[in-house]
Structure 1
Amino acid sequence: MNNYDPTVFELGEIEALKRAVKFFRPVATTLVGSGDDAAVISVSDNRFVVTSDTMVENHDFRTEFSSGFDLGYKAIATNLADVVAMGAIPNAVVVAMVIPKTTKQTWLEDFARGMQEAIDYLAPSCAVVGGDLAAGDNIVIAVTAHGDLEGRKPVLRSGTRPGDLVAVAGTLGWAACGLELLMHQDPTLKAAYPEFVDIQLRPNPLIGLGLEVAKFATAMLDISDGLSLDAARLANASGVSIRLDPRALSGFEAVLELAAQSISARQVQMISERDWVLHGGEDHSFLFTCAKDSFLPRGCKVIGEVVEVDKAPLYFGAEVLEAKGWDSISG
């Protein structure tokens, strides 16, 4: 039995991609898929949503704890969340990759399986319709995702007004906690809290809930860089201030309290679950605002209110809250 695992570049681009793309499933909106110079997709509106995101090895992820499957799943999930935050239904993605010449073919196929599983679970009406593969020193993954508005107006960051509620659909702080667990020198920690590690490795944006919320939200965005940073972006875009309610956020903190205590017990520096909730990114939950009389579906929680613009865009109770979070350039 031959167990030899060739590298992608031993096989060559054509054969390597042929073996990898067999995992992708076409959908009805894909008129021309992978194989031509460009894909052709159908939309029901004369407008469509498009977004792009890049993941760079040793800056956005580390291969010592992220498998090819994890990275494929995460690359899809993060982009689908951006499409949904605009109120659109994801229908197509293209993926451009740079990989080292030592990359095994099994890794590339594992990556493809991760992408397709994310699509199957999060947005089955979507498909991978093309991309590009090139050689380089480190892994770089660039995904462009498209979405169909189906005649609806896009949900922008600039639509909220004083008097609106501020709410979140999904988790807060889980991915930041998961990253802390993965990075810690004590390997038993990540095994003790797998639910947080899983969200860091394979985010689970609530796509269906996000699309439901988009029907009545006045403003909305995907929490990718941290609640405080993204809430400040929303406030600045709308020309308002946002006041977060500490009591409403205490429940999010309570879920993470034991993990924070476990980490703190193993090191000199204390860990704050509040910092994870306020400033930790990558949960890819949806932050949105809506009228006070809105009916919030299950899975959403009111965490504050929109007020007239004040001396700062963001408050935690009565105190000004500095917006902090992930910066894609400086880290």
Structure 2
Amino acid sequence: MSVAGVGEFGLIDRVTARLSYGPTVLLGPGDDAAVVAAPDARVVASTDVLVEGRHFRRDWSGAYDIGRRAAAANLADVVAMGADPTALLVALCVPAGLSAGWVEELADGIGAEASGVGASVVGGDMSASPTLTIAVTALGDLAGRAPVSRAGARPGDLVALAGRTGYAAAGFTVLSRGFRTPRLLVEAYRRPEVPYPAGPLAARLGATAMIDVSDGLLADLGHVAKASGVAIDVDRDAFDVPPQMRDAAQALGVDPYAWLLAGGDDHALAAAFPPATVLPDGWRAIGRVTEGSGVTVDGARFDGPAGWDHFR
């Protein structure tokens, strides 16, 4: 049955019936607004929007994976501040002829990604639209920790990475050329593997700056460098090219380091740590903070785009 056949409130009932709620949810969907506990008395908030044809394609990804990806993009921003995710709000604009079952699968994906980090979907909105659009707002709790912004990196700090980069970008390139393999890369594009615990852990260990790598490592490190008033140099040798990526790059005529250093959508975490820090499990050193401005690779400017820009 289509969304139009079910109706707005019928669709809301179908979606909310599929959700579960954690202990931070004091009042969930069904009222004018939700009520979420904020034990720290500070709330971390972030929002992202995904537009069909720009951020996802239904012929490339199923509704469940699109839902997980939509949630991950926001949850990664929360943990990049050193916070624990608590809740998501979802606004959905859909064509009237879209299958109601598709929306239910989308809700399942969003809910699964949220519950995996202890967060709950607590409300949102729905509207008809010719363009399928998913807007997600994530909330988080700092648990007494100071937020880790982009502005604290200092010369001498280590630059480290948790998670992987380049896999989703390689998967996007593979799909855009009409292929469906290597599966490792295609699945990375469809559903990112976010290192959620690494963000709060980095905050506890004294990270001076941190960012979610959504648009490309060099581009996002550029935001850290600008906010902190420093330069960052990345070690190319810190990145191994996995066999599937090497083979795909050779077949498609692409430099794999363009994916690794400038590809987005994996939602790894990049952070700066004081130089004496023993990096925890899951983090690896990839460079250093220096005096100056901008981001370099092995001391030289990177040849090519540093990342994604929606308006370029």
Q: Which band: TM-score by shorter chain? A: over 0.9
For 2:25 and 2:228, the matched residues in 1 are separated by 36
How many Å apart are 1:245 and its aligned residue?
A: 1.0
Specify the SS of the correspondent of 1:319: coil
**Which digits, 9 at most, give the CA deviation of each residue in 1:43-97, with x for residues without a partner?**
1112110000000111111111121111111111110000000011000110001
**2:61 and 2:190 in contact (8 A); partners too:** yes
Specify the SS of the correspondent of 2:39: coil
> Mean Cα displacement is larger for which, 126-135 or 59-68?
59-68
For 1:259 and 1:302, the matched residues in 2 are separated by 26
> Mean Cα displacement is larger for which, 100-109 or 290-299?
290-299
Q: Which runs of structure 1 show a deviation greater than 4 angstroms over 4 or more consecutive aligned residues?
A: 252-255
Correspondence for 1:287: 270
Of 176, 181, 184, which aligns to 2:169? Answer: 176
Residue 204 of structure 1 pairs with residue 199 of structure 2? no
- Root-mean-square deviation (CA), in Å? 1.4
Unaligned runs of 5+ in 1: 1-5, 265-269
**Which digits, 9 at most, give the CA deviation of each residue in 1:133-158, with x for residues without a partner?**
00011101000000001111100000
- Equivalent pairs counted in the alignment come to 310
Specify the SS of the correspondent of 1:129: strand
Of 300, 304, 311, which aligns to 2:283? Answer: 300
How many Å apart are 1:254 and its aligned residue?
A: 6.2
Correspondence for 2:156: 163
**2:81 and 2:199 in contact (8 A); partners too:** no
**Which digits, 9 at most, give the CA deviation of each residue in 1:5-49, with x for residues without a partner?**
x11111111111111221111111101100001000001112110
Equivalent AA in structure 1 for residue 214 of structure 2: S
**Which digits, 9 at most, give the CA deviation of each residue in 1:227-282, with x for residues without a partner?**
11001111010000001112212x14666212212x32xxxxx2110100111000
Correspondence for 2:48: 53
Specify the SS of the correspondent of 1:207: coil
**2:157 and 2:275 in contact (8 A); partners too:** yes
Structure-to-structure mapping, 1:38-187, within 5 angstroms: 38-121=33-116, 123=117, 125-185=118-178, 187=179
Equivalent AA in structure 1 for residue 169 of structure 2: A
**Which digits, 9 at most, give the CA deviation of each residue in 1:97-144, with x for residues without a partner?**
1100111110011101111121233x1x21000000000111010000
**2:83 and 2:199 in contact (8 A); partners too:** no
Correspondence for 1:229: 219
For 1:275 and 1:182, the matched residues in 2 are separated by 17
Equivalent AA in structure 2 for residue 94 of structure 1: L
Equivalent AA in structure 2 for residue 143 of structure 1: V
Unaligned runs of 5+ in 2: none
Equivalent AA in structure 1 for residue 127 of structure 2: A
For 2:143 and 2:280, the matched residues in 1 are separated by 22
TM-score by length of 1: 0.90
For 1:324 and 1:254, the matched residues in 2 are separated by 23
For 1:168 and 1:141, the matched residues in 2 are separated by 28
Specify the SS of the correspondent of 1:295: coil
Specify the SS of the correspondent of 1:282: coil
Specify the SS of the correspondent of 2:96: coil
For 2:216 and 2:148, the matched residues in 1 are separated by 20
**Which digits, 9 at most, give the CA deviation of each residue in 1:301-322, with x for residues without a partner?**
111000011xx41111121236
**1:172 and 1:252 in contact (8 A); partners too:** no
**1:43 and 1:150 in contact (8 A); partners too:** no
How many Å apart are 1:195 and its aligned residue?
A: 1.6
TM-score by length of 2: 0.96
Residue 314 of structure 1 pairs with residue 309 of structure 2? no
Equivalent AA in structure 1 for residue 184 of structure 2: E
How many Å apart are 1:325 and its aligned residue?
A: 1.2
How many Å apart are 1:293 and its aligned residue?
A: 1.4
How many Å apart are 1:298 and its aligned residue?
A: 2.1
For 2:203 and 2:89, the matched residues in 1 are separated by 24
**1:210 and 1:286 in contact (8 A); partners too:** yes
> % of aligned pairs identical?
39
Specify the SS of the correspondent of 1:102: coil
